[in-house]
Amino acid sequence: MKSLTDYEKIGRNKRRRQAAGKTVTYVLLSLWAVIVLFPFYWMILCSVKSYSAYNSEYIPKFFTLSPTFQNYVDAFTAVPLAKYFANTIIFTLATTALMLVVIVLAAFAFARLEFKGKNLLFTLFLALMMIPNELVIITNFVTITNWDMRNTFMGLILPSVTSVFYIYLLKENFEQVPEELYKAAKVDGTSDLKYLCKVLLPICKPTVTTITILKVIECWNSYVWPRLITDDENYFLVSNGIQEIRENGFGRENIPAMMAAVVVISVPLIILFLIFHKKIMEGVSRGGTKG
């Protein structure tokens, strides 16, 4: 009898310990979630406070009872935010589209075509993956300047339309498609290009989508190259725009309007993320890098 109660006691203790452990885990995870989400909450909150309300709060309030959208109006009228936005969209779309063409063609050649020096060339490509951007950006800056492409979309786009890593990723995926399909297409007299567009790309659509999304994120957030290559406001992207707003825009440190601009800039990517979060996270864990 005694031993039974002992077992019960041990079991109860164990369950209690486990429950305590679970609670601690949830509390810690929630704490990090708060740290992650709080800046987003704060930017939205500040963006709907009026200028006078914001500046009169010596102790910042955690909520507002009189939200205003005036800051959003200011963000679009006092500074050319719409222009920055349009520039970024053009830049992102053009870069991503061009890159897709370049990498799909290259990946196809590596995956399906036979030619002399293929292995050597592919090794060279892989070696290029290790080159840090900081090392080549100096000459690229001089090159683009010499070509008179500063403050043009061409200058912004050209250096970022190839990615060795994405060529590698796509090539691996292309190779997983059974080669019989390619041979069958050849027997039918289908051209390589047609095979690529009608068979290979549809089959590899998930990878292509992942690459597209990752590139869009990268373009939307790019800062360093656009900063070097543009000093004309008409060609600023959102990152440079926000820096410009911070240093010269709005005057007298209009924080609520600044926050409205920050919200506007962040929203497109957050929406993209909410729709595609599974794909994005999968793509990044397959070999995205940052930080």
Partner 1 sequence: MEKNNLKAWLYLLPAILFLGVFMVYPLIDVFVYSFEEGYNSASQTFFGIGTYNYSYVLRDPYFLQALKNTFILVIITVPLSTGIALLISLGLSSIQKVREWYQTIFFLPYVTNTLAVGLVFMILFKKTPYSDGLMNLLLGLFGVSPIDFMDGPYWAKMFVLCFYTVWVVMPFKILILTSALASVNEDYYKAAKVDGTSAFRTFGRITLPMISPMLFYLIITGFIGAFKAYSDAVALFGTNLNAAEMNTIVGYIYDMLYGNSGGYPSYASAAAIILFVIVLTITCINLLLSKKYVHY
Q: Which of residues 88-117 bind partner 1 (CB under 8 A)?
A: 101-103, 105-106, 108-110, 113-116
Interface residues for partner 1 in 51-90 (CB under 8 A)? 55-60
Q: Measured in Å, how far apart are the chain's first and last C-alpha atoms?
A: 60
User: Which residue reads 């070999």 in tokens?
Assistant: 287
Compute how many residues bind partner 1; rule: CB under 8 A: 91
- Report the residue from 242, 249, 250, 257 that binds partner 1 according to the rule CB under 8 A: 242
Give Rg (Cα) of the chain.
26
- As a three-state string, the secondary structure of 120-152 is HHHHHHHHHCCCCHHHHHHHHHHHHHHCCCCCC
Interface residues for partner 1 in 4-23 (CB under 8 A)? 21-22
Q: Cβ of residue 11: shortest distance to partner 1, in angstroms?
A: 15
In this structure, what token pair is assigned to residue 45? 């909150």
Q: Cβ of residue 204: shortest distance to partner 1, in angstroms?
A: 16
Q: Considering the complex, state which of residue 111 and residue 207 has its C-beta at the smaller distance from partner 1.
A: 111
Q: Cβ of residue 93: shortest distance to partner 1, in angstroms?
A: 17
Q: Considering the complex, state which of residue 1 and residue 247 has its C-beta at the smaller distance from partner 1.
A: 247
Query: Hey, CA dihedral for 236, 240, 246, 248, is it positive or negative?
Result: negative
Q: Cβ of residue 1: shortest distance to partner 1, in angstroms?
A: 25
User: Is 277 one of the binding residues for partner 1 (CB under 8 A)?
Assistant: yes
Query: Hey, CA dihedral for 125, 128, 129, 133, is it positive or negative?
Result: negative
Distance (Å, whole) CA 161 – CA 244:
26
User: Is 251 one of the binding residues for partner 1 (CB under 8 A)?
Assistant: no
- Report the residue from 3, 52, 119, 285 that binds partner 1 according to the rule CB under 8 A: 285
- Report the residue from 194, 198, 205, 246 that binds partner 1 according to the rule CB under 8 A: 246
Residues in Cβ contact with 246 at an 8 Å cutoff, skipping those fewer than 6 apart = 258
Q: Please answer whether residues 119 and 281 qualify as being in contact, where contact means their C-beta atoms are separated by less than 8 angstroms.
A: no
Interface residues for partner 1 in 191-210 (CB under 8 A)? 192
- DSSP string for 55-112: HH-SS--S--SS---HHHHHHHHTS-HHHHHHHHHHHHHHHHHHHHHHHHHHHHHHHH
Distance (Å, whole) CA 95 – CA 215:
8
- Spatial CA neighbour of 90 closest among 159, 148, 163, 156: 156
Interface segment toward partner 1; rule CB under 8 A; list 64-72, 176-184, 202-210, 219-227: 219-227
- Report the residue from 4, 32, 232, 252 that binds partner 1 according to the rule CB under 8 A: 32
Q: Cβ of residue 205: shortest distance to partner 1, in angstroms?
A: 20
- Report the residue from 118, 186, 194, 205 that binds partner 1 according to the rule CB under 8 A: 118
Separation in Å, CA 53 to CA 71, 251, 262: 12, 17, 19
User: Is 177 one of the binding residues for partner 1 (CB under 8 A)?
Assistant: no
- Report the residue from 1, 2, 5, 35 that binds partner 1 according to the rule CB under 8 A: 35
Q: Cβ of residue 8: shortest distance to partner 1, in angstroms?
A: 19
